[in-house]
Amino acid sequence: MIPKPLNQITKEDILTLVNGNVKEYRTLEYKREFDIDGDKKKYEFLADVTALANVGGGDLIIGINEDTETETLSVHPIDSHNIEIIKEKINSWILHLIEPRIKVQFMEIKAAPRRLLKLK
């Protein structure tokens, strides 16, 4: 988890994770992209969200790829036209498919990665 309130996280904080090659851990998850097609992808995403919620919260950053072969991180910006669609889809999935309800906050960070999802 990034040790800052969501509204204080900057592009530099995200780039520090990437440049420092900070790996995923219990309270930090990366997604290269948000894939809304198919139940398998949906339930994999929701499993990550619930895992973060079960440890008391964390950060799920969409727009960072963790390459397991090279053990490096890279930035993959999200098309800004898709951000509201992604937000709506995540909210819908969480509302209808996760019990008990969890609280999520979204923040768009300009100049990649484009979206940070903070779970509390």
Q: What is the pLDDT of residues 73-93, one digit of tens each?
A: 988 888 777 788 889 999 999
Which CATH number is 6-119's, of 3.40.50.10490, 3.40.630.40, 3.40.50.620, 3.30.950.30? 3.30.950.30
**Which residues are 49's β-sheet partners?**
none
pTM of this prediction?
Answer: 0.84
pLDDT interval class at 111 (50, 70, 90): low
What DSSP line would sit under 14-80, residue for residue? Answer: HHHHHHTTPPPBTTEEEES----SSHHHHHHHHHHHHHHHHTT-EEEEETEEEETTTTEEEE-PPPG
Q: Give dist(CA 85, CA 80) in Å, integer.
A: 10
